[in-house]
Structure 1
């Protein structure tokens, strides 16, 4: 590769990565943080839920799913603190609640292009406030609707692809359900979708296109209380980025496994999951899309 082509490749890679941390590739919401039973709203009370997510980037793909030149890798480690209050009030026949999320991020990218470049950043990410959680419950089913906004509160640098902030705000709508296949609720099918409406990124003048993410799971609870299951996520960018040089739309697909256990006496639930991404394609804002493996631990404490 000539010096000119190396510089061109690096410029494309930086344009592809800037303004979009690799973990939250579909927008603000990071895929893979929810799994089995995620669409079941808890009963009345106050809850803390902590998410520890580590994402290893194996490569960066273009709009056709082909890897970018060179050995490009990275990692994202996130610890998100989520606070949920189910008020005990009802609206439209559903239990009503509110929530807030405070994420902390540590991002590192090693780019083996034009001699190699390293980028990193860490700190508190953009904050989320959700004034609406609605949870319905049936004999063999549960359903949830939620609405909230990711605020542009974190540090953002358009020249640093590892910035913890996005540089824009996002309104997020959530809808999902859990279906229990037997009266004892030992088998379940779950699906949780997130629709993201993104604002304009002032530093670049680009408005990322709306996107839709589906997290799904098939689970079975054993007699000893351990729940095991197959999980995955699929994400699609539904419209092209306004102001971007291309009309490409990103997408991302992964499959994995989850295990979880609930200790009723302690009011604690612990879940762990692994996801392998098998297909990612880039959109207009980023030009390139990361592909890798994610590991997640989720702790819920009933306060």
Structure 2
């Protein structure tokens, strides 16, 4: 009976948690691991484009003890995400002020035979608008705060677990910082936290619980401009979903991952390239897999 409830919980979670990015249920719309090294650093005034290509390869489903659900449970989520950032020459409370928008395009294919779930979908996902982006800078540190909302602009159906939309809106608050361990700013230690508050899904009546995630990185920039480092992410669903059956209410999700990243920025071209690989080594009431992320930054 316990296993049946867990499988049902995973079915509900996946139907509502396949977002404009990955099939994670521990967080909301935002995909942990897409920023990595240098994520909590707002660039100087100007207009910037950042493109993310993400491949998330699911190899199993995990129950509330982190054990694999029996059966062949696999899937892939591919995303091409465009992020537009405008950093103005205005300052607010001593910080550079900016705004941003995020538009994801997704392709999701789920084959969870162990729970009798199979579906695929593709299209433009839920769109994010951020009217508040603040960045502070010191001799050996940087900090960022942001606030915005993911809108339920994409297609969602509770009968289609691979829906590119989540069917609800999400308010996302961001706070992060980078500490440069030396005056030359060759070594860096960073953490970027996102807190997400969701609205009720009109189709299901379920309100996903608040979630919190942290991306972190330890990097070293070399004389040739190449930066290498260790990266990771940790995500927790802090509250139980409201509107779910009582027997499923306490099955909150979480996921933890560790990886490596390499990148370089060419100032004369205003172009930066990064690549990272993450392995999810622990998860509960969620999927588990590996993520490959490529990132392009262009300054205009």
Q: What is the match of residue 66 of structure 1? A: 67
State how far apart, in whole Å, the 2-side matches of 1:87 and 1:16 are. 39
Q: What is the match of residue 298 of structure 1? A: 295
Deviation at 1:10, TM superposition (A): 7.1
SS of the aligned residue for 2:12 comes to: helix
Q: What is the match of residue 280 of structure 2? A: 277
Deviation at 1:14, TM superposition (A): 3.1
Q: What is the match of residue 223 of structure 1? A: 223
100 and 9 in structure 1: CA distance in 2 versus 1, 3 angstrom threshold: closer
Deviation at 1:19, TM superposition (A): 1.7
State how far apart, in whole Å, the 1-side matches of 2:118 and 2:127 are. 26
1:78 to 2:79 alignment? yes
The alignment of Structure 1 onto Structure 2 pairs a total of residues equal to 293
Q: What is the match of residue 179 of structure 1? A: 179
State how far apart, in whole Å, the 2-side matches of 1:249 and 1:113 are. 20
Deviation at 1:130, TM superposition (A): 0.1
Deviation at 1:16, TM superposition (A): 4.0
117 and 243 in structure 1: CA distance in 2 versus 1, 3 angstrom threshold: closer
State how far apart, in whole Å, the 2-side matches of 1:215 and 1:199 are. 24
Deviation at 1:8, TM superposition (A): 8.9
**2:106 and 2:125 in contact (8 A); partners too:** yes
Greater mean deviation of Cα atoms: 164-173 or 240-249: 240-249
Structure 1 runs (4+) greater than 6 angstroms displaced:
6-10
Cα RMSD of the aligned pairs, angstroms, is: 1.9
TM-score using structure 1 length:
0.92
1:108 to 2:109 alignment? yes
Gaps of 5+ in 2: none
Give CA deviations for 1:40-98 in whole Å, capped at 9, x if unaligned.
00100000000111000010111221111211100000111000000110000000000
Kindly report which structure 2 residues correspond to 1:128-147, keeping only aligned pairs within 5 A, or say none. 128-147=128-147
SS of the aligned residue for 2:114 comes to: coil
Give CA deviations for 1:138-195 in whole Å, capped at 9, x if unaligned.
0000000000000010000101110100000000000000000001100000000000
Deviation at 1:18, TM superposition (A): 1.1
Q: What is the match of residue 90 of structure 2? A: 89
Q: What is the match of residue 19 of structure 1? A: 16
SS of the aligned residue for 1:162 comes to: coil
**1:9 and 1:113 in contact (8 A); partners too:** no
TM-score using structure 2 length:
0.93
1:260 to 2:263 alignment? yes
**1:23 and 1:30 in contact (8 A); partners too:** no
Gaps of 5+ in 1: 1-5, 283-288
Q: What is the match of residue 169 of structure 2? A: 169
State how far apart, in whole Å, the 2-side matches of 1:119 and 1:9 are. 20
State how far apart, in whole Å, the 2-side matches of 1:134 and 1:16 are. 33
220 and 200 in structure 1: CA distance in 2 versus 1, 3 angstrom threshold: same
37 and 51 in structure 1: CA distance in 2 versus 1, 3 angstrom threshold: same
Q: What is the match of residue 198 of structure 1? A: 198
State how far apart, in whole Å, the 1-side matches of 2:233 and 2:77 are. 18
